[in-house]
Chain A
């Protein structure tokens, strides 16, 4: 096995590490820590955060890539690897991924969605819906299906419930130790909802999430829980694979946008003069180009570059990944202007405040002023912008794919799923499951992000205090 680090993998893990570092830093500042605790005091924020965390974990699992060695190779020679790049998520879904049918089938169906003509052994021609090769192949008779689903569901729910209880107990134990009380006392507080943070809600969300995941996963081994697509691919697997694309576009874009907006915004506000003029010119110009046109043009440019240099990439996954990276870069380049303007205005305001002008008069260096006075005071703006942008970007991906300038068409993404589903909706009878799956997966993520950002805004924005 050989680990493969795609560009976006590196970026997302770097982000995770830096977020960890940042979390460690703020945990030492009581003021910021208090703010965060205030955010999580809301039940909705807590629930959303846990849902978001689940999505992010799926995306992270899908961001650990490797290539397997080819079987039975001569010993001693250089090991040859499969061309296909897999991720840990693919490995988890290995069995489900392999259960490919011929064409469309509905959720939990045992037969294909459309009927085909077959010749029976005695030469008769019949028109029937063919049996699926994988789904329900463990059943002795088709009538057993409902009972089988029920039993398997109960089993999955039970296991997930036990597991979640286990994790929750561990967490309670940890909280109890921190609070220096007994496990029982802490559990009692949780049950009554008397803890500082709404742990009861958190545990509940966690349990439900785990149960849903376990149920989907377990039943996915026996049925196509969300049906199959035109070439028989499992929609459940596709939906999970799309999580990475959505999350990465939302998260990494900010990574690109932030430094630009921070550096340009603050320098414009602080240095003024010609620097301010240039930066203002830059963002007004960028702003005045209709966004979609700019994105389309830039994506097409990169596409050309990718097309003309096919030897840059060893596998199709790498190629698709570069395209995702490019999309992220471009979205970042086009979306920094708004935040930049806010930061500029805020910096202008702060630099007029007496203690800053005083610091300047005393000859404190500009970088120190930025670090000490400006950055901490604009952090709330940055944070609000980041969480607000996240949901907008996830939604934008779908629209861009529709216009044809989204992620690579071979990449799993909700945008691609919706785009394909448009045509499926016109079929007779309708094929609705791809659209519905994409809808639900996307809706939950965006809803959680919106609710969370709402709370962040309410707590951090001084206007709302």
Chain B
């Protein structure tokens, strides 16, 4: 097991290098370091002298991939790309273009993101599975059909509408929850309710349909028929046989996203003023703060790879037939 994980982590290195390469190429095509300097210095009057100092301070005066002036192999190593990538691999994210420590910011902003993403994920998973089970229980009835129609309708509405409508209805008209804001810990529950509710609701359609099809597949198998023939009640059949066996395909789809929950939700966080990583990312894109975007891309890639590994591990736990080799 440990050897397997170690090998997977080793494989991750070329992927992460590739990820870095892509971000570098893209971003330096957009922005010359001069642009970044100007954006960050941002004052009314920016003089060339100020720009040069700023660039030298951040090492942006070095060439991107190839240093013609350096001798031998240093031609490749004394470049912006190699220097910055190496730092990333030891999770030293450095300072943002505006001068704040990115590592400290990420650590701090992770928790607000989780505070929204985790409940949304957990409650969403439980409700969708419960609903899917219910629908399977009533398969073939009007309830099934109408639930599926509603599910498709929920899927067909852009998430932006849910947020706009939710804010107007629950915060402005009914005065139930604060319209936006954040507070850590239990004091923050009132801020979290609405975004979580909207997040769960928006995912209800797709989730229910997917789980329903998984359960339906299971319910038509022979062992379920046998169980039923033995006289087990329908509910017992569902919980004892269908649900555990359906868990496997659900796991494959679900485990991979768990680490990415840290990344937060872009739209949700900026609408509700949650100081998480999602809004951090969006701000960085808008401000074209390369240092942050680079760090977030790297962070996201790492989380994704962890997710893949976790998926494989969870297979071995839930399906004894699978062995990691």
Contact = CB atoms under 8 A, between A and B. Distances in A.
A451 B152 contact: yes
Nearest to B300: A290
A298 B19 contact: no
Contact of A450 (B18, B152, B164, B267): B152
A399 B300 CA distance: 20
B242 interface: no
Interface stretch (A221-229, A232-240, A355-363, A402-410): A402-410
A293 B296 contact: yes
B267 A402 contact: yes
B257 to A, nearest CB: 12
B19 A288 contact: yes
Interface stretch (A170-178, A181-189, A441-449): A441-449
A148 interface: no
Given A395-B158, A425-B164, A293 B30 contact: no
Interface in B248-291: 260, 263, 266-267, 281-282, 285-286, 288
Interface stretch (A22-30, A60-68, A279-287, A371-379): A279-287
Interface in A408-465: 418, 421-422, 425, 435, 439, 442-443, 446-447, 450-451, 454, 463-464
Nearest to B157: A443
Given A439-B161, A447-B152, A289 B22 contact: yes
Nearest to B23: A297
B158 A399 contact: yes
A450 B282 contact: no
Q: Would you call the interface of chain B mostly helix, strand, loop, or mixed? A: helix
A386 B267 CA distance: 26
B17 to A, nearest CB: 9
* Best-buried of B14, B158, B304 by chain A (most CB within 10 Å): B158
B296 A294 contact: no
Contacts of B26: 294, 297-298, 300-301
A422 B156 contact: no
Contacts of B304: 287-288
Given A289-B297, A395-B158, A435 B18 contact: no
Contacts of B15: 281, 284-285, 288
B156 A443 contact: yes
A293 B160 contact: no
Given A297-B23, A451-B152, A290 B297 contact: yes
Given A293-B297, A403-B266, A288 B305 contact: yes
Interface string A145-171: 000000000000000000000000000
Contacts of A450: 152, 155-156
Contacts of A447: 152-153, 156
Q: Which of B27, B159, B300 gathers the greatest number of chain A CB atoms within 10 Å?
A: B300
Given A293-B297, A454-B152, 20 more contacts: A281-B14, A281-B18, A285-B18, A287-B304, A288-B305, A289-B297, A290-B296, A292-B281, A293-B300, A294-B22, A297-B27, A300-B26, A300-B288, A301-B29, A304-B30, A304-B31, A402-B160, A405-B285, A421-B164, A447-B156
Interface of B: 14-15, 18-19, 22-23, 26-27, 29-31, 152-153, 155-161, 164, 168, 213, 217, 260, 263, 266-267, 281-282, 285-286, 288, 293, 296-297, 300-301, 304-305
